[in-house]
Structure 1
Amino acid sequence: MSSLSHSSLLSRRQWLASSVAVPGLLALTACASKAGVSAQAAPASSLVVGGLFAGSRSDKGFMEAGWRGLEKAREELGVQTRFLDGMAPRKELLLPALNQLAEQGAQLVIAHGGQNNQAAVEAAARNPRTQFVVTQGTVQGANLSSYDVLQEESAYLAGVLAALTTKTGVVGHMSGIRVPPGLKGRAAYAAGVRDTDPKVKLLTNFSGDQDDNALSHRIAKAQMAAGADVIFTMLNSGRNGVTQACREAGTRQIGNVIDWTAVDSQVFVASAWADVGIGAFLAVKDMQQRGAPGPGIHKIGLSDPAAVRLTMGKDVAASVRERVAKTSAAIVAGSLKVPENYAGAEFTA
């Protein structure tokens, strides 16, 4: 049995007990001192799928959405699932975790998030008999593919709404680590703001941490002090710090991934819905039906409103809703291309 950290090492006795209790149970260990580890049982003859979540599965954001996609596959498609979670998104932790999932029996390994791109390329090369998928990824190969939910399309719509609803003429954007989905989401939001009203000023920040609430609270307060009255957040657990700051100041927030307007209608004016967990589910479904996911990079956008759309609070004006709907239709039709790069100024707090 291999180990990625002695902090959560399963003893041989524990491994044997697990094997007797649940046939086919994998002995998985954590990748970092705070990493979580678990396995879900299913018939030994079913497809075994491993999942890697570099963060908290209960962040009410990106990681939780990916976890729910894997759970949906287990429940609806009858596959056996294994997962590792809780580690920091660093290659030296991600690569051994991916290798472990493959070496301990997963026929399909799903790495949730574009931060896994580089590690997945190396893991796929090392484990040619295992299929690898990166959700929100940009990589592909003989046994490697990506499922990319185009959250940047709903982020563009968030920019449209922000420009139309700001009263100060200043809007904010906050994210954590600079991974491709986050960078593309920021570029799209910025373009939506600019294309809707070029006079609106954008304050944009990547703090370096998706989950630090004290940090996100401080940055949100700094953006508000600079005039922002609408802030678009692409954070995980760290969103709570922004929400607290918004509640204190009466500032509105635009969420992402799930419908935050249903969670807190007082703070959230809209949410750039993007079911990033659907990639995990579709990868498992394709593996079952075709023997392999992929090949290539699968893109899912506003043309599938169950996966990508902008949800809006009840207090959003009809004229704003109409503008958002027209913009969404233009993106789906291909007459409006959502930019993927941002070259503007960065906000520092």
Structure 2
Amino acid sequence: MRRISKLTSVAVGVASLALAATACGGTSSEAGSGGGGESGGEAKGLAIAYDIGGKGDQSFNDAAYAGLEKAKKEFGYKTADIEPTEGETDADKVQRLTSLAKQGYNPIVGVGFAYGPAMEEVAKKYPKVSFGIVDSVVEGDNVASLVFAENEASYLAGVAAAKATKTDTVGFVGGVDVPLINKFEAGFEQGVKDTNPKVKVLSQYLTQTAEEGGFSSPDKGKAAAEAQLEKNADVVYQAAGLSGQGVIEAAATAKKWAIGVDSDQYKQEALAKYKKYILTSATKDIGGAVYALAKSVEDGKPLTGTQTFDLKVNGVGLVDSNPEFAKIPGLSDAVTKAKEGIVDGSIKVKTE
């Protein structure tokens, strides 16, 4: 039997990690000393392999990087973060994870569900190394599956959108039409409709596969958002990785509301010129999950099995960094009430 657990608030309460917003690519590592495995005389600890979009997406991947930075600072070991390649295959991911394991990194985290097949293969070959995967469940005694209740955070985003709209039309832009992103859409639409059944939800996915650029094409996101804005949407929620930057740009240009995802995008330096129009963000404490795994390895008690990050443990949430959030009549109270309902079980949020 695999162990399925729900982390405590203490384990995941690092959602306020300051994201190091860096747009540089490539592979990076920094030497240090301290815990972790040994290779070539240098202590080595956490390594992360990025998903499509890479570091600098101001969202999903940067959140994972924040967890790596916190672990590096606290444990003083050498870390590595590796960029994906254009049009890569599962074999490329296998090679990347294998290389990190051979170099002595422990734990190793694959950022994104695309690492599933590769991690299942590599984890079996390196049973003494702890692996983690974000947004997917992989079987293995030495694998921690770091999954999130995105539908719950998206429900809160839907409540906010329904309260903020003046046209009774809002939009959802998903990067790729896959079950993970379907969870965002399902929660968002339910939150909108439960708050105001009269509000229309326009939905669009950018691509059918990640290889087509759904998570890495700001131009596609911008075009999709512009189409929804032309149809009278005045709040647009995006779950599209790097492509989401185009959605935010389009909304801000039209002086309409955008809702960010994964990280608090109101605070992202690269998005500063649009921040006035980023109403809120549905967050996932990816950095906290990555750090929690690193700490468990450092403590000699590696996490394994499915680790679920939901509203109860503040693993997901909705931020109110934009001062305008509190100025919209009824918005804050509606979001608070909805969160309480989800946590106490009186509101059941759909996943599809």
TM range, normalised to the smaller chain? Answer: 0.7 to 0.9
Structure 1 residues 90 and 162 mapped into 2: Cα distance closer, same or farther (>3 Å)?
Answer: farther
Residue-by-residue CA offset, 1:128-170 (whole Å, 9 max, x unaligned):
3322110222223212121223333211100111122212222
Residue-by-residue CA offset, 1:90-144 (whole Å, 9 max, x unaligned):
4233222112211222232111122222221122123333221102222232121
Structure 1 residues 103 and 179 mapped into 2: Cα distance closer, same or farther (>3 Å)?
Answer: farther
Q: Which residue is 1:241 aligned to?
A: 246
Alignment partners' CA distance in 1, 2:25 and 2:60: 17
**1:1-349 alignment to 2 at 5 Å?**
36-43=26-33, 44=41, 46-54=43-51, 55-88=53-86, 90-208=89-207, 209-262=214-267, 263=272, 264-294=274-304, 296-305=305-314, 307-312=315-320, 313-316=322-325, 317-341=328-352
Alignment partners' CA distance in 2, 1:199 and 1:129: 55
Aligned-pair distance for 1:222?
0.9
Structure 1 residues 238 and 143 mapped into 2: Cα distance closer, same or farther (>3 Å)?
Answer: same
Structure 2 counterpart of 1:153, one-letter code: E
- Paired residues in the alignment total 306
Structure 2 counterpart of 1:332, one-letter code: V
Aligned-pair distance for 1:39?
1.9
The structure whose Rg is larger is 1
Q: Secondary structure of the equivalent of 2:131?
A: strand
Alignment partners' CA distance in 2, 1:320 and 1:239: 23
Alignment partners' CA distance in 2, 1:162 and 1:85: 34
Structure 1: segments with no counterpart, 5+ residues: 1-33, 342-349
Is the Cα contact below 8 Å between 1:61 and 1:235 reproduced in 2? Answer: no
Q: Secondary structure of the equivalent of 2:276?
A: coil
Is the Cα contact below 8 Å between 1:254 and 1:268 reproduced in 2? Answer: yes
Aligned-pair distance for 1:77?
2.3
Structure 1 residues 117 and 178 mapped into 2: Cα distance closer, same or farther (>3 Å)?
Answer: farther
Structure 2 counterpart of 1:189, one-letter code: F
Q: Secondary structure of the equivalent of 1:227?
A: coil
Q: Secondary structure of the equivalent of 1:238?
A: helix
Aligned-pair distance for 1:298?
0.8
Q: Which residue is 1:23 aligned to?
A: none
Q: Secondary structure of the equivalent of 1:193?
A: helix
Alignment partners' CA distance in 2, 1:96 and 1:182: 27
Structure 1 residues 189 and 67 mapped into 2: Cα distance closer, same or farther (>3 Å)?
Answer: same
Question: Which is worse superposed, 219-228 or 60-69?
Answer: 219-228
Residue-by-residue CA offset, 1:210-237 (whole Å, 9 max, x unaligned):
1212211111111112221110012333
Is the Cα contact below 8 Å between 2:266 and 2:280 reproduced in 1? Answer: yes
Structure 1 residues 203 and 95 mapped into 2: Cα distance closer, same or farther (>3 Å)?
Answer: farther
Q: Which residue is 1:25 aligned to?
A: none
Q: Which residue is 1:3 aligned to?
A: none
Larger RCO, structure (CA 8 Å, separation 6 or more): 2
Alignment partners' CA distance in 1, 2:106 and 2:260: 35
Alignment partners' CA distance in 2, 1:270 and 1:248: 17
Is the Cα contact below 8 Å between 1:151 and 1:185 reproduced in 2? Answer: yes
Is the Cα contact below 8 Å between 2:44 and 2:104 reproduced in 1? Answer: no
Identical aligned residues as a percent: 28
Residue-by-residue CA offset, 1:176-205 (whole Å, 9 max, x unaligned):
134554232222112211222222221222
Cα RMSD for the two superposed structures: 2.2
Q: Secondary structure of the equivalent of 1:134?
A: strand
Structure 2: segments with no counterpart, 5+ residues: 1-23, 34-40, 208-213
Aligned-pair distance for 1:45?
6.2
Q: Secondary structure of the equivalent of 1:223?
A: helix
Q: Secondary structure of the equivalent of 1:340?
A: coil
Q: Secondary structure of the equivalent of 2:176?
A: coil
Alignment partners' CA distance in 1, 2:42 and 2:265: 39
